[in-house]
Structure 1
Amino acid sequence: MTSEITYAEVNFKTESKSSGTNSKSLSDPKKKTSPHRSNPSFPKLLLTSLLIFLLLLAISFFIAFVKKDWSCCPKNWTSFESNCYLISTTSVSWDKSEKICSETGAHLLVINTKEEQEFIIQKLNENYAYYLGLSDPEGKNQWQWVDQTPYNESVIFWHEDEPNNPAENCALLLFRPTTKKWGWNDIPCSEMQYSICKMKKIYI
């Protein structure tokens, strides 16, 4: 009889221990395992980044478009490419002409290309001559532009046999009836002539 009781006690303890172990396993969340799942926020983050990139790209294109196309010249000025031009209606000396231009934020006409020369002469009156922003202060045939643009020998439009006088230190644009052509001519800077001002377009 003693033997049976002992067995029963052992058996009870074993069951209790086993039951306690199972209970602990089921109630302990730290030991639960779940299958690996991808982060659900990753696609949203990728989509947001893409939308921001596209928005910035659109803004950049818009700014570039506005800068290119929304430009203007002051009233009464003529537009050509990225510049504005104003043809004077009074005749003054070369120095006075340059001063008048500088007071408007411009300078006397500097011609950089054949296309620019062709554009300008279409706007001029053949009966007048117009000062350029080109001078030879020392009379050494060292011509220079008022805006410090290099004097390019490949882009010059002097009339034949011009310049021809070291005492004539300023250049103007005039029409010669004999050749029926516009071209540059040297002239004393004190001569009263018309002029052309040039400035960069205003960008909004």
Structure 2
Amino acid sequence: MDYCVSECVRDPKCSSVLYNSPSQLCKLLRCLLIPEYIIPDTSENGWDYHASENACSDGWFRFEDHCYFNNFTGSKWNDAQSVCNQHGAYLVEINSKYENLWLDRELTNGFYCGVSMWHLFTHERNRWIGATDIVTEGQFLWSFSTTKLDFHNWRNGEPNNRRKEEYCAVIMKDGQWNDLKCFCNQGFICEKNLF
């Protein structure tokens, strides 16, 4: 077990560990398991769960030095931003193709610690992100840092401000972005610094 935990401490992407004593099998996880998702009889089958001290909070996922929370609840963009703020976070600001790829693979495709969760949340696959052009049409800024987008991954033909009503951005299931009406109900991704 000590070896397994020390491997997790050395790996910046590791947040928790599942260790099986009888088989001495170790699984490094990139997130913390929420208690209700831990199979109740894991310890009876020889599995022990341990969380890293340098990990994100329960339900939050770590990528580099940031923690992310995938909220499946449909919310308007402003409401989503408020929920993130209540948790000391902000709507995600995607600053690189690597971060976008990670979000697409780990969050928007409905995986939770490598387990598909879309059978539980099939109602919506778009997620609000922090990009908006509500101040000046066509000039998207990150709502938290108020900086211009250094990176973007707009779907072909987007952003298009369809019917002159689309000012808020989502990341879609394929990792591409789209602008939508801010009052539509979408899931959302919160981000905060790990340290």
TM-score in terms of structure 1 length: 0.59
Pick from 157, 164, 172 the counterpart of residue 160 of structure 2.
164
Contact 1:139 1:169 in 2 (8 A): no
Which secondary structure state, in structure 1, belongs to the residue aligned with residue 172 of structure 2? Answer: strand
Cα distance in 1 for partners of 2:186, 2:75 equals 5
Cα distance in 2, alignment partners of residues 89 and 144 from structure 1 = 24
TM-score with structure 2 setting the length = 0.62
Q: Does 1:141 align with 2:138?
A: yes
Instruction: Supply the AA of the counterpart residue of 1:128.
Output: R
Report the secondary structure of 1:71's partner residue. coil
- Give the SS at the match of 2:160: coil
Change (3 A) 1:76 1:188: same
Q: Which residue of the partner structure matches residue 125 of structure 1? A: 109
More helix by proportion, 1 or 2? 1
Cα RMSD (Å): 2.3
Contact 1:135 1:170 in 2 (8 A): yes
Which whole-Å CA distance do the structure 2 matches of 1:151 and 1:138 have between them?
12
Larger radius of gyration: 1
Q: Does residue 73 of structure 1 match 2:56?
A: yes
1:184 aligns with 2:168: no
Which amino acid in structure 2 is aligned with residue 130 of structure 1?
A: R
* 1:49-73 per-position Cα deviation (integer Å, ceiling 9, x unaligned): xxxxxxxxxxxxxxxx9xx996321
Q: Tell me the distance in 2 between the aligned counterparts of 1:149 and 1:79.
A: 23
- In the alignment, is the contact (CA less than 8 A) between 1:78 and 1:86 conserved in 2? yes
CA contact (8 A) 2:80 2:91 kept: yes
Partner of 1:110: 93
- List alignment gaps of at least 5 residues for structure 1: 1-64, 176-180
Number of equivalenced pairs: 131
Q: For 1:98-147, what per-residue CA distance to the aligned partner results, in whole angstroms no more than 9, with x for missing partners?
A: 00000000000100111100111012237510000111114511111022
User: Cα offset for 1:191?
Assistant: 0.1
Q: Could you list the per-position Cα deviations for residues 131-184 of structure 1 after superposition, in whole angstroms to 9, with x for gaps in the alignment? A: 00111114511111022252235x110000000014200000113xxxxx3200
Distance 1:71 1:136 in 2: 35
More strand by percentage: 2
The residue type paired with residue 109 of structure 2 is N
Give the conservation status (yes or no) of the 8 Å contact 1:91–1:193.
yes
Task: Please state how far the C-alpha of 1:94 moved relative to its aligned partner.
Answer: 0.3
Q: Which runs of structure 2 are paired with 1:7-22 in the superposition (5 Å)?
A: none
Identity of aligned residues (%): 28
Which segments of structure 1 move beyond 2 Å, counting only runs of 4 or more? Answer: 68-72
